Amino acid sequence: MKKHYNTTLLIFLFVPFLCLADKGRIYNVADFGARPDSLFLNTVPIQKAIDKCAVDGGGTVVIPKGAYVSGSVFLKKNVSLKIDKDGVLKGSVHPEDYPQIPTRWEGEEKEWTACLINAIGLDNIKLTGPGTIDGSGDVWTAKPRGTLKQGKPRLIGFQNCTHVEISGLRLKNQACWGLFVLYCVDVEINNLIIRAEHNIPSSDGIDIDSGNKIHISDCDIDVNDDCISIKSGKDEDGLRVNKPCENILIEKCRFGYGHGGVAMGSETSGGIRNVMVQDCMADSGNWAPIRFKSQPSRGGVVENISFKNLKLNGTRKAFEFNMAWRMVKPKPAAAVLPIVRNVVISNVNGIVGEIGDIRGLPKSPINGVMFIDCNLSAKKGLLIEDAINVDTKGLKISGVAGEMITTRNTVEQ
């Protein structure tokens, strides 16, 4: 069997994150009139603190002890934001507190609802804890449809930024995606605890969209959608923008409940490449810790992806590859269908409900999946459909009563 694996996929030209220099100036939002009062909207005083910090040449704006309700705030040049211990920045539940801004939503560039915390076109900034950012997603979810304008607010959005650190925070009940990183380069994300109630839809933990040199480590995520999603644009607009998501290292994380652990897609139009996920664990009924998803209309190449040293404990599936995912009102197929190739899954072990699925497209089969030293126990085996060059010699399966591996191909040459 011809091998398609790129031996360089495990070698990341990842520049170690350099510590960002703080200016030393501290701006406490309480000094600008912010109050930890659930009835008081603190958007204006918090933004005043940020603006003053920027005018003075930079520093750190601090949210002190207490819960401060706010709508969208926008970081500025040389301004970092710190949430103190026992401090909470709590999202307003009123749509009018979140303006519409140019951004990308679900893979398409458009005007969309701003996040609670926004950083756009900035360099060398930090967002740090140990406090909490609470999106009030439990309240947003209870709102009747029709009372909302265009979209619920995401919790944190960094867009077109470079040299960024996001660390030491607790993110809670995002109304929509938790941490959204778009068109950013050189981003360090570490030591986050992300929790969303399991009735909050689209409560992804971390979404990396068309970024480069991203390092995620020591995060603990339990949400009601993908824990981490890697994206690069959707359909015609994603193909127009054509920006890949590349050179990503994810390590030492826990994935609790969620629809996926680390998911490639479903927005794949700009391409996803050189992603390594290593030394992680998944439990609590996570749907599929290793997940690939797209649609024929998306296009894009997903390649050189590695999952290494994963411990699974009670997840629904181990793997899910689905190139015809969620085909609701599908658009016409792209001129070049989505391509998934060169995937290495090594030392993935544990007990799962079923091994899972590897499903490509008849005209674009998944090409090249290698299993190395994987040992899994499940009640149901692995389905391989419309995939070629799948090397399962390194996959040992136990506990399955029927067929351990079922292969069905309708590949069109």
- Close Cβ partners of 329 (under 8 Å, ≥ 6 residues apart): none
**65 has pLDDT over 50:** yes
Rounded Cα–Cα distance for residues 361 and 303 (Å): 16
**16 has pLDDT over 60:** no
Closest CA to 20 of 64, 106, 81, 93: 81
DSSP 364: B
Task: Provide the token pair at 312.
Answer: 């699974």
For the segment 25-50, what is each residue's pLDDT rounded down to a tens digit? 999 999 999 999 999 999 999 999 99
Q: What is the mean pLDDT of residues 209-221?
A: 98
Closest CA to 304 of 256, 365, 247: 247
Q: How far is CA 389 from the centre of its chain?
A: 29
- The reply to whether 19 falls in a domain is no
Question: pTM, whole model, 2 decimals?
Answer: 0.95
Rounded Cα–Cα distance for residues 290 and 356 (Å): 10
CA 100 → CA 48, 152, 241, distances in Å?
20, 11, 21
Q: Which ranges constitute the DSSP H helices of 99-208?
A: 137-142
Q: What was the pLDDT predicted at 409?
A: 83
Q: How many domains does the chain have?
A: 1
Rounded Cα–Cα distance for residues 121 and 76 (Å): 9
**Residue 128 pLDDT grade (very low, low, confident, very high; cuts 50, 70, 90):** very high
Rounded Cα–Cα distance for residues 106 and 54 (Å): 31
- Close Cβ partners of 412 (under 8 Å, ≥ 6 residues apart): 362, 363
Rounded Cα–Cα distance for residues 236 and 377 (Å): 41
**Residue 270 pLDDT grade (very low, low, confident, very high; cuts 50, 70, 90):** very high
Cβ(320)–Cβ(287) below 8 Å:
yes
- The reply to whether 275 falls in a domain is yes
**17 has pLDDT over 70:** no
CA 308 → CA 170, 184, 322, 407, distances in Å?
27, 25, 21, 24
Closest CA to 374 of 301, 327, 318: 318
Rounded Cα–Cα distance for residues 132 and 124 (Å): 22
H/E element holding 241?
Answer: helix 235-241
10 Å CB burial of residue 70 (0-12, 13-18, 19+) is buried
Strands 260-264 and 290-293: parallel
Q: What was the pLDDT predicted at 149?
A: 63
Q: In CATH, what number is assigned to the domain containing residue 184?
A: 2.160.20.10
**Residue 143 pLDDT grade (very low, low, confident, very high; cuts 50, 70, 90):** confident
For the segment 388-406, what is each residue's pLDDT rounded down to a tens digit? 999 999 999 999 999 999 9
Q: Report the half-sphere exposure of 365 (CA within 13 A, side-chain side).
A: 18
Rounded Cα–Cα distance for residues 404 and 402 (Å): 6
- The reply to whether 89 falls in a domain is yes
- The reply to whether 5 falls in a domain is no
- The reply to whether 234 falls in a domain is yes
Rounded Cα–Cα distance for residues 24 and 141 (Å): 40
Strands 100-105 and 108-113: antiparallel
Q: Mean pLDDT for the chain?
A: 94
Amino acid found at 174: Q
Instruction: Identify the three-state secondary structure at position 160.
Output: coil
Rounded Cα–Cα distance for residues 370 and 376 (Å): 15
Burial 372-393 (b: 16+ CB within 10 A, else e): eebebebebbbbbbbbbbbebe
Amino acid found at 347: N
Q: What was the pLDDT predicted at 241?
A: 98
- Partners of 292 in the beta sheet? 264, 321
- The reply to whether 16 falls in a domain is no
Q: What percent of the chain has pLDDT over 70?
A: 93
Structural domain range at position 171:
25-328+336-408
**322 has pLDDT over 50:** yes
Rounded Cα–Cα distance for residues 264 and 176 (Å): 19
**Residue 148 pLDDT grade (very low, low, confident, very high; cuts 50, 70, 90):** low
CA dihedral 133, 257, 320, 156 (to 10 degrees): 0
Strands 374-377 and 366-372: unpaired
Please report the beta strands in 283-338, taking only residues with DSSP state E, as ranges in sequence order: 290-293, 301-322
Rounded Cα–Cα distance for residues 194 and 213 (Å): 22
